[in-house]
C-alpha cells in the first residue's frame, strides 16, 4: 500500500488530516511555526478569545502534577477584534483550517463574538462553555443540560460558521449534556475540557495556584476522556473532536476508535513543540502497519466486550 487517505469532514469543512491543536496550548501558531510546518496540521484551534481583552488570573497560574499540569491562566488574550485584524491574516498563509475558540460571561457576549467571527475567515467556531478558570460564565453554562441547550440555540442564530461546542467533564452525565448541545443546533462537539483540580503546598498549607483551583490536563486524564468520547459517540449524530492527554499516535487511535472524527493535541505541545507532527506521524504509521487505506475505517470501530 503506497497511499492512505487522511482527509476528514467536520460539519462541512474538509481537513487534510484529523490532527488539530487544542485551544490554549498553541497560542495563535506564530511561535510553533518556527518548529513545525503549520500546513501539515489538519486545523489550528487558537487561544481562547473573549469579547474584550483579558489579562487573565494572577500568578502562579501553572502547577505540575503527576502525569499532567494544573492551569488557571484565566483566558488571557488580546480580544476577538484584535484576533480578526492581526492574527487571521497570519493564519491564512497556511492551508490548515482555522478554529476560533470563544468564551463569554453572558449569552450576549457569545452571540456578539459569533457574529464578528462569522464575517471573518475562520472555518469553524468552538464555543467554550466549560472553562473552570473563571469565576463566572463557563461553569454555569456548561454543567447544566438546559442552559447548554439554551446558549447553543441562541448562539447558533448569530453564527454563520460551523459551531462546535466544547464540553466540560465536570458533569454528572456527559451524554445528557452532549445531546442538549446537539438538540440546540451544534454542528460538532469537542471533548473533554480540563478536569477541575487542586494542588496544595504542604509547607505553606496554601493552594499553589493563586486562583486555588485549576484545570487538570495531560496523560492523567486520557482514560476519562476516551470513556466520555465513547459515551457521547453513542448518543449523537454529529462529529466529535476528541482530546485529553494525547501524546502519541497510538493515543490518537484510541480516541478515533472510541468515536472521535478528529483529535486535538494540547498539553503535549508544552512539552514538545513538534508533538502534533509526531502524533500525525504515529497515526499514519499505525494505518500503514494495519493496511488501513482511509482514516474513516477506524472511526468508532471499537469492539465492546
Cell 483540580: give the residue: 197
Q: pTM of this prediction?
A: 0.96
Q: Can you give the CATH number for the domain in which 25 is found?
A: 3.20.20.70
Residue 241's CB is within 10 A of a number of other CB atoms, namely 28
Provide the pLDDT for residue 137. 44
Structural domain includes residue 305: no
Provide the pLDDT for residue 131. 52
Cell representation of residue 206: 496554601
Structural domain includes residue 279: yes
Structural domain includes residue 2: no
Strand order across the beta sheet in which 195-197 lies: 62-65, 68-71, 214-217, 195-197
Alpha-carbon gap, residue 167 to 100, rounded angstroms? 16
Per-residue buried b or exposed e for 198-227, using 16+ beta carbons within 10 Å of the residue's own CB: ebeeeeeeebbbebeebbbbbbbbbebbbe
Provide the pLDDT for residue 132. 40
What are the DSSP E strand ranges found in 104-219?
A: 124-128, 162-166, 188-191, 195-197, 200-201, 206-207, 214-217
Structural domain includes residue 175: yes
In degrees, rounded to 5, the angle at the alpha carbon of residue 22 between the alpha carbons of residues 19 and 23 is: 140
Which backbone phi and psi does 207 adopt, to 5 degrees? -60, 140
Known catalytic residues are: 131
Distances (CA, A) of 112 to 56, 128, 137, 157: 21, 14, 15, 11
Mean pLDDT by 10 residues, the chain (305 residues): 88 98 97 97 98 96 96 95 98 98 92 98 94 47 91 97 96 97 98 96 98 96 98 98 98 98 98 98 97 98 96
Structural domain includes residue 240: yes
Alpha-carbon gap, residue 7 to 4, rounded angstroms? 9
What is the domain count for the chain?
1
Domain that residue 240 falls in:
8-297
Structural domain includes residue 178: yes
Cell representation of residue 211: 486562583
**Residues 6+ away with beta carbon under 8 Å from 223:** none
Q: Are 192 and 221 in contact (CB under 8 A)?
A: yes
Instruction: From 250, 259, 233, 263, select the one nearest 290 (Cα to Cα).
Output: 250
**Residues 6+ away with beta carbon under 8 Å from 207:** 198, 199, 200, 201, 213
Structural domain includes residue 98: yes
Instruction: From 119, 110, 46, select the one nearest 78 (Cα to Cα).
Output: 46
Residue 253's CB is within 10 A of a number of other CB atoms, namely 20
Q: Per the omega criterion (within 30 degrees of 0), is the bond before 60 cis?
A: yes
Structural domain includes residue 304: no
Beta pairing, strands 240-243 & 262-265:
parallel
Cell representation of residue 72: 488557571
Amino acid at each position: 500500500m503506497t497511499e492512505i487517505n487522511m482527509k476528514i469532514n467536520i460539519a462541512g469543512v474538509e481537513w487534510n488530516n484529523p490532527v488539530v491543536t487544542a485551544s490554549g496550548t498553541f497560542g495563535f501558531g506564530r511561535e510553533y511555526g518556527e518548529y513545525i510546518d503549520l500546513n501539515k496540521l489538519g486545523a489550528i484551534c487558537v487561544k481562547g478569545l473573549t469579547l474584550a481583552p483579558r489579562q487573565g488570573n494572577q500568578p502562579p497560574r501553572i502547577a505540575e502534577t503527576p502525569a499532567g499540569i494544573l492551569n488557571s491562566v484565566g483566558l488571557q488574550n488580546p480580544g476577538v477584534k484584535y484576533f480578526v485584524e492581526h492574527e487571521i491574516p497570519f493564519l491564512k498563509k497556511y492551508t490548515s483550517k482555522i478554529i476560533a475558540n470563544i468564551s463569554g460571561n453572558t449569552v450576549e457576549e457569545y452571540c456578539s463574538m459569533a457574529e464578528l467571527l462569522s464575517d471573518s475567515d475562520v472555518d469553524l467556531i468552538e464555543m467554550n462553555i466549560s472553562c473552570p478558570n473563571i469565576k463566572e460564565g463557563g461553569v454555569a453554562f456548561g454543567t447544566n443540560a438546559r442552559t447548554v441547550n439554551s446558549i447553543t440555540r441562541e448562539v447558533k442564530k448569530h453564527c454563520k460558521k460551523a459551531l462546535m461546542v466544547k464540553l466540560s467533564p465536570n458533569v454528572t452525565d456527559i451524554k445528557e449534556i452532549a445531546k442538549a448541545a446537539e438538540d440546540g443546533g451544534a454542528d460538532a462537539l469537542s471533548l473533554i475540557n480540563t478536569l477541575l483540580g487542586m494542588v496544595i503546598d504542604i509547607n505553606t498549607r496554601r493552594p499553589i495556584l493563586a486562583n486555588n483551583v485549576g484545570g487538570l490536563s495531560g496523560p492523567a486524564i486520557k482514560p476519562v476522556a476516551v470513556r466520555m468520547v465513547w459515551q457521547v459517540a453513542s448518543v449523537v449524530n454529529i462529529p466529535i473532536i476528541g482530546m485529553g492527554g494525547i501524546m502519541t499516535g497510538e493515543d490518537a487511535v484510541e480516541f478515533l476508535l472510541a468515536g472521535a472524527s478528529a483529535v486535538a493535541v494540547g498539553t503535549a505541545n508544552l512539552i514538545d513543540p513538534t508533538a502534533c507532527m509526531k502524533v500525525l506521524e504515529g497515526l499514519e504509521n499505525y494505518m500503514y502497519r494495519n493496511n488501513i487505506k482511509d482514516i474513516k475505517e477506524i472511526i468508532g470501530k471499537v469492539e465492546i466486550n
